[in-house]
Amino acid sequence: MKLNSRIVSAALLTAVTVALTGCSATGGDSAGTDDSLSSVLDSGVLTVGTEGTYRPFSYHEDGSGDLTGYDVDVVEAVAAELGVEVSFEETQWDGIFGGLTSGRFDVIANQVSITPERVDSYAFSTPYTYSTGVIVVPEANTSITSFASLDGLTTAQSLTSNWYTLATESGATVEAVDGWAQSVALVEEGRVDATVNDKLTFLDYQKQTGADGLKVAAETTDRSESAFAFALGSDALAAAISDALATLAADGTLAEISDTYFGADVSQ
């Protein structure tokens, strides 16, 4: 079974640290033994929880084709580094963390953002996706150059998104929409001045349509980070997958997968 020495070293070091500190682990004994990596290697299968309805990260082409997407390709490349197969368990977002903690799968691959609240409840790999918030405007617009420029202007936003909050905090009046498709259409039609959204969303739209007539006018300085999520105590598996991600970054695999879906490297 293929497993490079760097992954073994990192994983064993983490496992020893966990055992010595007495941390609890999923599937471990009362002494806190972490068997998260060994159980995957012994079975030869990494079971992955994902939505399967979240384009371009995890979805079925035309709704019925094979499961594909950025996260799908990344986790399959990671599994190849570990020398194991992948088994996907598709589930709705509302139940995905419950499935992780109940042991239905070993890891979530579904653009899980690392937040302080989640760090308290789950283990994470190193990030494999980075993104910012962006202002999307007509290409001819030269007056919007920062978030401060939105003061007194109109943006199209979903009222339940964090981008709505950012737009209003910047002084914009918001035209309520259901999602990205409606908001970008209003910008293209000149019915609003701009829309604020995740850069990955715009890059995907640009990759799919060309986004002719649109541009990014400004982006946030803060970046969001997404990573693979594990049940608390799965430190050995998280370390092994983090080391695999480092290998895939170094050999250009992550950049290649990124370019396939976004036309840019979003992995760093």
Indicate the average pLDDT of the chain.
90
Pick the CATH number of 133-219 from 3.40.50.1220, 3.30.530.20, 3.40.190.10, 1.10.12.10: 3.40.190.10
Give 79-104 pLDDT, tens digit per residue.
999 999 999 999 999 999 999 999 99
**5-130+225-262 against 133-219: fold identical:** yes
The span from the CA of 215 to the CA of 187, in Å, is 11
Residue whose C-alpha is closest to residue 47's, from 6, 92, 10, 84: 84
Give 193-216 pLDDT, tens digit per residue.
999 999 999 999 999 999 999 999
- Average pLDDT of span 220-228: 96
Band (64; pLDDT cuts 50, 70, 90): confident
Question: Quick one: angle between helices 70-82 and 235-250, nearest 10?
Answer: 100
| Least reliable range by pLDDT among 14-23, 78-87, 159-168 | 14-23
Pick the CATH number of 5-130+225-262 from 1.20.210.10, 3.40.1280.10, 3.40.190.10, 3.40.140.10: 3.40.190.10
The span from the CA of 130 to the CA of 221, in Å, is 12
Question: What pLDDT is recorded for position 13?
Answer: 40
Torsion over CA: 184, 186, 188, 193 (sign): negative
Question: For a pLDDT cut of 70, what percent of the chain falls above it?
Answer: 88
Give 50-63 pLDDT, tens digit per residue.
999 999 999 998 88
Band (168; pLDDT cuts 50, 70, 90): very high
Cα angle 196, 200, 204 (rounded to 5 degrees) comes to 105
Q: Could you tell me the two tokens for 90?
A: 């598709």
Residue whose C-alpha is closest to residue 37's, from 88, 79, 90, 96: 79
List the chain domain ranges: 5-130+225-262, 133-219
Q: How far is CA 14 from CA 33, 179, 186, 235, 236, in A?
A: 11, 42, 50, 6, 6
